Amino acid sequence: KDFATATPSWWCPGCGDYGVLSALKSALAELGKQPHEVAFVSGIGCSGKISGYLHSYAFHGVHGRALPVATAVKLANRDLTVIAAGGDGDGYAIGAGHFVHAVRRNPDITYIVMDNQTYGLTKGQASPTSATGYVASVSPEGNPDNPINGLALGLAAGATFVARGFSAQPKQLVQIIRAAIEHRGCSIVEVMSPCVTYNKINTYAWFKEHIEDAALRDDHRPSERTAAFDALTREGKIPLGIIYQEERPTLEERTHLPQVPIAKHDLHGDRGRYAALLEHYR
């Protein structure tokens, strides 16, 4: 099996997550990756199911904990292309602490946040990215909270690659995911991925009206952190594309671990080095 092999999936017809899966498969195929070269870690939620649909190594783990697992996988075997994925609730609510600390460490992994602005799996409650006033099953009078800006939070934490795509714009999304995987460091890709069953506000039509290509703006400067932060936080349309990118040493490079994967090591001879690593994270 390769990434072109069809897989059964159990999302609702029309769910934005299909577009993310398709773009991810295309990006990996274009990069010439084989399933045994990729490890995919996902959190809990509708989007978390994606790790079971790819034919790669996969770990569908604990709610909000995809990033520490993915970081550990990369430290153990830097030969693998490591991708983590989950929803806005998984990444920006229960997983928010891990999000900030994974980003600042800059492991060479890609994190895809499938943002549908609701908790789809549990029937449409307001999520961290739901707009103020969003009407949900448990907030019929409207969400009283302000939404979180996940990409701005990532940038403030020191992210080295920040991008946003839309699941209904596959060509751009494939390019973004390719660039994220090729980036040496922690890449955050937020994908607007509509929940057609529960979120009746942020629909495909709503996004088409509210998005713009960041690269078409005169003030688009993806190498400048302040300009990127302005782009992410200004009033107006939602910017799509690569918003920020810089080169910085990765976690693997800074830990000075042997480059050969743990599975191929003489553990007896390397015991001292791994004991030092465990001590570092104790």
Q: Which is nearer to ligand SF4, 160 or 167 (CB)?
A: 167
Q: Which of 15, 21, 186, 228 binds ligand SF4 (CB under 6 A)?
A: 15
Residue bearing tokens 């602490």: 97
197 binds ligand SF4 (CB under 6 A): yes
Tell me which stretch binds ligand SF4 (CB under 6 A): 23-31, 147-155, 161-169, 194-202: 194-202
CB of 166 to ligand SF4, least distance (A): 15
When the beta carbons of 19 and 95 are compared against ligand SF4, the nearer one is 19
Contact set for ligand SF4, span 96-155 (CB under 6 A): 116, 120-121
Within its chain, how far is the Cα of 118 from the centroid? Answer: 16
Burial class (CB in 10 A: 0-12, 13-18, 19+), 265: middle
Nearer to ligand SF4, 46 or 82 (CB): 46
Contact assessment for residue 133 and residue 142, using Cβ atoms and an 8 Å cutoff: yes
Question: Which of 117/187 has CB closer to ligand SF4?
Answer: 117
**Residues making up the chain, counted from first to last:** 282
CA dihedral 236, 233, 152, 59 (to 10 degrees): -10
Among 135, 157, 168, 196, binds ligand SF4 (CB under 6 A): 196
Closest CA to 25 of 2, 8, 58, 42: 2
- Judged by CB under 6 A, the residue of 11, 134, 161, 229 near ligand SF4 is 11
Q: What interhelical angle do 17-30 and 170-182 show, nearest 10?
A: 50
Question: How many chain residues interact with ligand SF4 (CB under 6 A)?
Answer: 12
Query: 28-67: which residues touch ligand SF4 (CB under 6 A)?
Result: 46
CB of 106 to ligand SF4, least distance (A): 30
Q: Where are the beta strands (DSSP E) in the chain?
A: 38-42, 57-60, 81-87, 110-115, 161-166, 187-192, 211-213, 238-245
Using CB under 6 A, list all residues that contact ligand SF4.
11-12, 15, 17, 46, 116, 120-121, 195-198
